[in-house]
Amino acid sequence: MYNLLKGKKGIIFGALNEDSIAWKVAERAHEEGATFVLTNAPIAMRMGEINKLAANTGSEIIPADATVMEDLENLVEKSMEILGGKIDFVLHSIGMSINVRKGRHYTESNYDFTHKGFDVSALSFHRVMNVLYKKNAMSEWGSIVALTYMAAQRVFPDYNDMADNKAYLESIARSFGYFFGRDHKVRVNTISQSPTPTTAGSGVKGFGGFLSYAEKMSPLGNATALECADYTLTLFSDLTRKVTLQNLYHDGGFSNMGISDVIMDSFMEGKE
C-alpha cells in the first residue's frame, strides 16, 4: 500500500457486487487511506450486496437516484456532514441500457428505453457535477472520474445505444470539466476501460467472444476490474493534479491496435 489517498474523502457511485469496478475502487480506496460514502439507486441496492462492502470499508450508504436532482442534493449535503468537509474525489460508475436488456436491435430502438438509458448513463453525470459545482462541494485539486468505453469512438454493433450514452458522457466530462477546472481547480476525466466481466458488461450480446478477441488484440491483454481500480486511484491522488479533460484509455493497448499477430494467424490458417 502507498497511502495514496490518506485523509481524502469521496463519494463512490455504482458499486453493485464484487464484480463491479466501483466495488474494487472502494476496496482499494479504503486500503489507501480514504474515507467515503457509497451510493446507488434504491432498486440497484436491492439487487446488489452494497451492505457487505459498506461493512468491510467502514462506509455509510446514502441511497440516491442519479436522475433525480433532489436525491443528489441530499446525497452531497449528507456526505459532507458524514465526512466532515468537502469532497476530494467522486467516481461515476453508472450505466444502463433497457434496449440491450430487452434484446432490441440498435435500428429498432424503443425511444422511451433510449431516453431512460441516456438519463441514467450520461445525463446523470451532468447532474452530479451540477450539484457538486453549485454547492462548491469539491476541494481544490479534487478529482471526478467517470467510466466509459471505446464504443464512444468506434463501432461495436452489439454495444447498442450505450455507445451513444458514452459519447455524450465523455463530452460532458470535457465541457463541465472546463468550468470545474477554471472556477474550482477540480479535475474531470473519463477512463475508457477494457471489456470487463461486470454485471452490466456481461449483458451485452456476444460479450464472451469479444472479451476473448480484445485479449488477443491487446499487447498487454485486457485490464481487469482491479487494475482499473488502481488506475482510478492514481487520478484521485495528488500525483495527477494537472490531468483533466482527458479520456484515458486503460485497455492494454487495444485502442491503438489495427491487427495483432494472433488475430492475423487465425485468419491465415489454411491459406498458405
> Which pLDDT score, from 0 to 100, does residue 201 have?
63
pLDDT given at position 143: 99
Per-position b or e across 238-254, b if 16+ CB within 10 A of its CB:
eebeeebbbbbbbbbeb
Cα separation, 256 vs 96, whole angstroms: 27
Q: What angle separates helix 207-217 from helix 261-268, to the nearest 10 degrees? A: 110
8 vs 86: CA distance, rounded Å: 9
Q: How far apart are CA 71 and CA 60, in angstroms?
A: 16
What confidence score (pLDDT) does residue 267 get? 86
Which residues touch 134 (CB under 8 Å, ≥6 apart)? Answer: none
Cα–Cα distance, 181 to 223 (Å, whole number): 29
* HEC string for the chain: CCCCCCCCEEEEECCCCCCCHHHHHHHHHHHCCCEEEEECCHHHHHHCCHHHHHHHHCCEECCCCCCCHHHHHHHHHHHHHHHCCCEEEEEECCCCCHHHHCCCCHHHCCHHHHHHHHHHHHHHHHHHHHHHHHCCCEEEEEEEEEEECHHHCCCCHHHCCHHHHHHHHHHHHHHHHHHHHHHHCCEEEEEEECCCCCCCHHHCCCHHHHHHHHHHHCCCCCCCHHHHHHHHHHHHCHHHCCCCCCEEEECCCHHHCCCCHHHHHHHHCCCC
- Class of CATH domain 9-268: alpha beta
Do the beta carbons of residue 188 and residue 177 sit within 8 Å?
Answer: yes
Question: Taking the model in full, what pTM does it have?
Answer: 0.95
pLDDT value, residue 45:
79
Domain boundaries, the chain: 9-268
Nearest to 130 by CA among 169, 165, 176: 176
Q: Is the dihedral of CA 12, 38, 84, 233 positive or negative?
A: negative
Residues in the chain predicted with pLDDT less than 70, given as ranges, are 199-203, 270-272
Q: From CA 120, how far away is CA 133, in angstroms rounded?
A: 19
Model pLDDT, residue 203: 63
Q: What is the pLDDT of residue 271?
A: 67
Give the integer Cα–Cα distance in Å for 97 and 146. Answer: 17
